[in-house]
Structure 1
Amino acid sequence: MSYSVDDDTKYDEAVQADAGVTRAVQSELEDYDAIVEEAKLATAAQHSLTLREGFRRYPAAMAWSILLSSALIMNGFDIVLMGSFFGQPRFQQRYGVQLPDGSYTITAAWQAGLSNGAKAGEIIGLAFNGYIVERFGCRRAMMAALLYTVAVIFIPVFAQNIETLLAGQILSGVAWGCFETMTCTYAADIMPVQLRPYLTAYVNLCWVIGQLLASGVLRGTLALESAWAYRLPFCLQWIWPVPIAIGCFFAPESPIWSLRRQGRDAARKNIRRLLSNPTDEEVDNQLAMIVHTDAMERSVSAGTSYADCFKGVDRRRTEIATGVWVIQTTCGSSMMGLSTFFLIQAGIPTDSAFTLSIGQYAMGIVGTVSSWFLMRYIGRRALYFWGLLVLLVLLTLIGVMGCLSGSGPQWAVGALLLVYTFGYDATVGPVCYTLVSEIPSSRLRPKTVVIARIAYNAMSIVTGIIMPYMLNTDELNWGAKMGFFWAGLTALCALWTYFRVPEPRGRTYGELDVLFHGRVSARKFASTKVDQFAQSGVSRFESGKEDKGEKEHIERVRDV
């Protein structure tokens, strides 16, 4: 018996679980037959679950995921704070240097240092986070990171010099690194197939909400003449940690982690807390699906270390997760992070630049919500790929505007940034979190996501170094012409996406394991039918469109 994404879907290829994997699972599970039958029922239930039914059956899981993901609002808030402070007069006077014309500026070196300090701290937090989550679980690790954040916020609030401010950024980044991976990992672990894209993409919405709030706060503090023009925004970060930490205390742990670290009874208990009035049969079926998938993955790769992420089929999964996250920073998104400073350098008045940035992030929220519907009908791969092509066009247009003089092109740059933000947050931004959460194996998901995020942060440090030099009038002074640079990188990103990023829409984690183990081409994931419960025969790919009277055509679809 086999299950597909949609019973009415016509597939070009079919693949079964490898016979060796099946035998290994059979030898490991004493209750193999019962587990398989229950896992089949759970898989069928996942595929037949409608969106409305998912909202009705999983309200608790959605609420817990939303709560934990809300910690990322602080990350988005701070990114805009620091980038916008570079153009805020009070901040420039306090931490900058005076230019010959009497004005103040934050030097390119310190802009790079402050932007990258948080990224460096995030890398440290990410490296430890993989071990901490594996040992203590997502819930307790999140609580510790939130309480740590309460303490380190004091440093930027009362920093007397730019060196202390840098130290605060680095230490704050340690906690932010934990938030960046735990939130999407937790959402991926606890949500059913139909709800996965919405709750993993919600992580991106939290970033945008933080950016919007920061833009509004900065616009409101422009009139302040004292140090509170930049201290007050830092203080507002204290709003989030304690309430979220209290919520985490009562949240259920990931059933996948519970199974590996605490056993079936603990996993069953957490499954029950995630469902709305489940029957014992439903809980047992979901537990069986997790047990079967875990056993399959152990038969392929028994380890859960960082090194295991680069072995066998998991190496490909790590490459994909890393690539889609790195693309977030190589497709020109850095221009949004420094949007206020960029607009001021383009010639737009300071007040107008801050006002326009608020509209920019409001468009980001609309874009992220739009991605929920687009992913449902278009899929992850197509939306990600075509989104990059749209961004490529917009970046090219921004570069063209940078070659023109006058106020018209300057305001056109601001309008294009609004459109860019909407396009990014409707495609690449949220789809990235869904892909990064779905592509890794369940056993290696925390560490694969950590590796991907570290790569993203490393690339962000590079862009953080070069962006100030591109923008500053006393350096390269490219202004909007930098759009050409990012357009070139975006073209390369789109090419890689076409050949390497698969379509995981509608697949259970067990089915994705079979597809990756069978080395199915990224371009054929959506057109391949999967049977993860095959109990005999050799792993194969067979044509699903054979003519009557012809022999069955069997072929191996090689990954490209």
Structure 2
Amino acid sequence: MASTIINWSEIQPHLKWQVLAKQKRFLAWALYSSIGSMMLGFDFGIAGTCTAFPAFQQKFGIPFPSQPSGYLIPAHIQSGWSGASSAGSIVGEIIVSIFLLDKIGRKHTIAVGGVITAIGIAMQVAAHEWKLFLAGRLINAIGFGVVFLESPVWIGENCRPELRGFFLCIMNGSIVLGQFLLSCISKGTSEIEGKWSYEILIILQFAFVAALLVVYPFYPESPYYLIKKGRPEQARKALDKIHGRDDLALLEAEMARLTEVVQFSEAIQEAAATKGSLLRQCFQGSNLKRTLIAALPAAGQQLIGAAFVLGYVTYFLSLIGVKQYFTVSVVLYVIMLVSNISAFVGIEWIGRRALLVPGIIALTLILLVMGIMGCLHSSGALWVIIVCIFLWAIAYQLTIGAVGFAIGAEVSSPPLRSKVQGVVGITQGVFGWLVGFVSPYMINPDAGDLGAKVGFVFAGLGVPLCILFYFLMPETRGLSFEEIDYLFANKTSCRRFQDTIKVHRATYGDVLEIPGEVSGKHFDDKAAIGVEQVEDNSV
């Protein structure tokens, strides 16, 4: 059977899997860039997982006879650790979005974040009381917050449009992989007595830093960034490193495509120059709605329970009476990982909106059932609660967990992408801090002691999310960035993106009129064709 010939100068969504087969090198670099996401998944679970170890409870806790170990880490200390991680992540994301990404580039941002992370890990290893451990978690989170945000920017700028959703799913997949590794290792170290049962988990975080810094010298700078900075020769060399030198047609087409996107981005930026800084423009006109849509899934992930599961599921299982809680958490993360991998395909076959809206509704209903079961006291109710946790994990990873990051990177205007990703990261950090901070107070025996009734809390938060997702989540599958700009500029209903663009393509072809920003531009989505001069028609 003859292989399909790909015309790289055109965007061909129907050949997405043939395109993926030719993008092995890009996939490898995308996986490297997502190490920050893996660090986030691993680190955010550290405190909650370590809290389940008797030796950790004895070191940082207070006497509490009703606990099997005789010790309990008070809710205010657990909240402090969680808050420090979220606050550090927010600080790191502010630093990277406002200063580092545009000043030193995507590549060098990774080195800065890696060094900061190493300092924070060392502080946690050296900690003999909870305050130094808190300070270490704060510094560590600043570092991985810096690295974490680089990934969606680098991938979103440089991946082929046919596979944008697929590659952006890697972020959440890496978070889940980090959680999975943590659960597997903690299961093994749970058989060890003494401080090494938990210190091994903390020390192993250095492995992520080592991987970052060893590969960093070879990591290609974003070609999009280099073209934007007026360094086309270096951009071409970066493309050689990303795709290899075997397919010259691919390299020429990608160089032309990225140049076109940069020129389009600069035209929009020039037209909006009178509107203030790029950060300010994120909250003006149609960009305000786009920023809200980008940030909404990040907030929704936390409000529907991600921060709780990410940080406290192992400890929570021990509190509700699950005896083999380490084993159950390992199985849970295996299922989450498999579900997330399935979403890599589903996001391109099913679509973004088609996964997000039913997904948030399903999650809300599952949490409601879990809360009801928490009011009952029987072995049968406990089994239903465990089933609800597993169903939640599957639904989350198939929908908002995987798709949330993709939609956030797609809906932003190209010149504002790094700033909007900063807003998304900060939103996730703020809501993650909120949920992570109150979670110990909700579930700890010395505080709320809600048990599975915590499901009522997250189900209640899920109701407004269901409404917002229904009206605000667009379907961006197969749309170019220019078409997305056109739809938002013309105030198209988010529920009708696909229908509107199909009618437009059938009627006008690839000519897009973007009112008030850039008008009369001919976008043919053929990367090999140069971009004509864009006239400034800003109002």
TM exceeds 0.5? yes
Aligned to 2:455, which of 470, 474, 483? 483
Structure 1 residues 290-331: Cα deviation after superposition (integer angstroms, max 9, x where no partner): 244223422443465322211222211111111111001011
Deviation at 1:335, TM superposition (A): 3.5
2:511 aligned residue: 534
The alpha-carbon distance between structure 1 residues 501 and 270, as it changes in their structure 2 partners (threshold 3 A), is: same
Write the distance in 2 (CA, Å) between the matches of 1:61 and 1:356: 35
1:396 aligned residue: 368
Write the distance in 2 (CA, Å) between the matches of 1:79 and 1:427: 21
2:530 aligned residue: none
The alpha-carbon distance between structure 1 residues 201 and 287, as it changes in their structure 2 partners (threshold 3 A), is: closer
Deviation at 1:376, TM superposition (A): 1.7
Q: Is this contact kept in 2: 1:91–1:230, CA < 8 A?
A: yes
Write the distance in 2 (CA, Å) between the matches of 1:440 and 1:64: 23
| Count of residue pairs the alignment pairs up | 497
Write the distance in 2 (CA, Å) between the matches of 1:500 and 1:536: 23
Percent identical pairs in the alignment equals 27
The answer to whether structure 1 residue 81 and structure 2 residue 53 are counterparts is no
Write the distance in 2 (CA, Å) between the matches of 1:173 and 1:538: 42
Please provide the CA RMSD for this pair.
Answer: 2.2
Structure 1 residues 159-192: Cα deviation after superposition (integer angstroms, max 9, x where no partner): 1100100000000010121122111111111111
2:83 aligned residue: 116
Q: How does 1:341-352 map to 2 (within 5 A)?
A: 341-349=315-323, 352=324
Q: Is this contact kept in 1: 2:117–2:141, CA < 8 A?
A: no
4+ runs of 1 displaced by more than 4 Å? 530-533, 535-540
TM-score (norm 2): 0.87
Aligned to 2:29, which of 54, 64, 89? 64
Q: How does 1:295-310 map to 2 (within 5 A)?
A: 295-302=266-273, 305-310=278-283
2:523 aligned residue: none
- SS class of match (1:506): coil
Deviation at 1:272, TM superposition (A): 4.2
Write the distance in 2 (CA, Å) between the matches of 1:358 and 1:301: 50
Gaps of 5+ in 2: 1-6, 520-539
Q: Which amino acid aligns with 2:301?
A: Q
Structure 1 residues 380-435: Cα deviation after superposition (integer angstroms, max 9, x where no partner): 01101111111112111111110111222123212221121111111110101101
The alpha-carbon distance between structure 1 residues 493 and 538, as it changes in their structure 2 partners (threshold 3 A), is: closer
The alpha-carbon distance between structure 1 residues 83 and 439, as it changes in their structure 2 partners (threshold 3 A), is: same
Deviation at 1:101, TM superposition (A): 4.7
Q: Which amino acid aligns with 1:342?
A: F
Q: Which amino acid aligns with 1:109?
A: H
- SS class of match (1:202): helix
Q: Is this contact kept in 1: 2:367–2:458, CA < 8 A?
A: yes
The answer to whether structure 1 residue 104 and structure 2 residue 71 are counterparts is yes
The answer to whether structure 1 residue 167 and structure 2 residue 132 are counterparts is no
Q: Which amino acid aligns with 1:97?
A: I
- SS class of match (1:526): helix
The alpha-carbon distance between structure 1 residues 507 and 84, as it changes in their structure 2 partners (threshold 3 A), is: same
The answer to whether structure 1 residue 54 and structure 2 residue 22 are counterparts is no
- SS class of match (2:447): coil
1:18 aligned residue: none
Q: How does 1:115-514 map to 2 (within 5 A)?
A: 115-130=82-97, 131-276=99-244, 277-279=247-249, 281-302=252-273, 305-337=278-310, 338-349=312-323, 352-514=324-486
Q: Is this contact kept in 2: 1:304–1:444, CA < 8 A?
A: no
Q: Which amino acid aligns with 1:385?
A: V
Write the distance in 1 (CA, Å) between the matches of 2:512 and 2:45: 54
Aligned to 2:493, which of 501, 505, 521? 521
Write the distance in 1 (CA, Å) between the matches of 2:263 and 2:493: 25
Q: Is this contact kept in 2: 1:332–1:490, CA < 8 A?
A: no
2:10 aligned residue: 45
TM-score (norm 1): 0.84
The alpha-carbon distance between structure 1 residues 314 and 538, as it changes in their structure 2 partners (threshold 3 A), is: closer
The alpha-carbon distance between structure 1 residues 372 and 284, as it changes in their structure 2 partners (threshold 3 A), is: closer
Q: Is this contact kept in 2: 1:399–1:480, CA < 8 A?
A: yes
Write the distance in 2 (CA, Å) between the matches of 1:464 and 1:191: 33
The alpha-carbon distance between structure 1 residues 283 and 112, as it changes in their structure 2 partners (threshold 3 A), is: closer
